[in-house]
Amino acid sequence: MAKVTIQDVARTANVSVATVDRVLNRRPGVRGATVSKVEAAIRELNYQPDRIAARLARSRQYRFGFVLPARSSEFWQRIADEVRLMADRMAGERVTITARQVDVFDGEALAQALDAIGEGYDGIAVVALDHPAVREAINALQARGVSVVTLVSDVPGSKRAHYAGIDNSSAGRTAANLMGRFLRGLSGKVGLIAGSLALRDHIERQFGFEQLMTHEFPHLKVLPVRESRDDWQKLEAMTAQLLAEHPDLIGLYNVGGGTRGIVAGLEAAGRARDIVFIAHELTDPTRRGLIRGTIDAIINQDAGHEVRSAVRVLLAKADNVPLIESQERIRIDIFVRDNLP
């Protein structure tokens, strides 16, 4: 099949090639109705412009930044590694990618980091806290023409361009479904731990979990959520405290990170095999916990897919081309000991 050209788009939209070029490069002077016609033609024909050639022709180089958590957990290290891989890969396509780390649990600090982003950036991907100051900082970047993609944790009330992450409410409901099935026929208490209730992904997972547990498994009592800031040492002590306070504890769901602390706490107490434990993110420590049987199931999101998706979206916004929505949908993976990759 012949490659679709800009001339094909112009004929389909019944406009000039110059008009299509202005729409693609977001130059002024094109009526809104005409822009809509051109964009519809691009989608209909699945037009894919030669982005690298266009950048070379315009001597244009894009600059994207990632704002990541200042935490040393295995999942966030994997995200940082994927960002470095994409930076190396995109360097030959006239795209520079940089990264910096911030305490994303601190809304004011994260907002200040976003406000401090200087001129010259075309797009930012940020692991975001749903906080008023962060929302305003994202809106200010968008107003400056800097596209913002929220990564892993969303701020849906902001003007961000896209969210690259799983449906966290569905992830929480999935955890509840697994918990109820694993504990079928038993009655008792289920512990619930989150890293921070200011992080949208943690809030949505908690909501989905509690909602389904209440309606589908009312014989299981979900305890009030406890916050850990994803600190594995704090989680080890928190697990010991939960076990001491609730001898009838039969299930545990960790919404966030620091899972190795819970694994250590359950194993130290000799309760690794009689408590159903569901966690997030397949990392080296959670893999070991799953193989030993301390963890019963892991709900995972593909860190590489999320980072690649964020970069693709930022490129699409910079080049003013439509997204392929199905390509950017991040799936929820469920791992048990028998299907580990």
Domain 168-300: state its class. Answer: alpha beta
CA atoms within 13 A on the CB side of 239: 29
β-pairing, 333-335 vs 297-300, is antiparallel
Query: Does the pLDDT of residue 2 top 70, yes or no?
Result: no
Average pLDDT over residues 143-161: 96
Distance CA 34, CA 20 (A): 9
Distance CA 146, CA 29 (A): 21
Structure tokens at 312: 């693709």
Q: Does domain 6-49 have CATH number 1.10.260.40?
A: yes
Query: Does the pLDDT of residue 247 top 60, yes or no?
Result: yes
Beta bridge partners of 193: 226, 254
Domains 61-165+304-330 and 168-300 share a fold: yes
Q: Average pLDDT over the chain, rounded to whole?
A: 92
Distance CA 62, CA 87 (A): 12
Q: Does domain 61-165+304-330 have CATH number 3.40.50.2300?
A: yes
pTM of the model: 0.82
Q: What is the dihedral sign for C-alpha 120, 124, 128, 134?
A: positive
Rank 14-23, 32-41, 134-143 by mean pLDDT and report only the highest. Answer: 134-143
Smallest Cα–Cα separation from 262: which of 225, 299, 237? 237
Beta bridge partners of 164: 151
Q: Taking the domains of the chain in order of start, what are their residue ranges?
A: 6-49, 61-165+304-330, 168-300
User: In this predicted structure, what is the pLDDT of residue 21?
Assistant: 82
Distance CA 273, CA 180 (A): 17
Query: Does the pLDDT of residue 108 top 80, yes or no?
Result: yes
Average pLDDT over residues 29-34: 89
Q: What is the pLDDT of residues 54-72, one digit of tens each?
A: 555 455 789 999 999 997 6
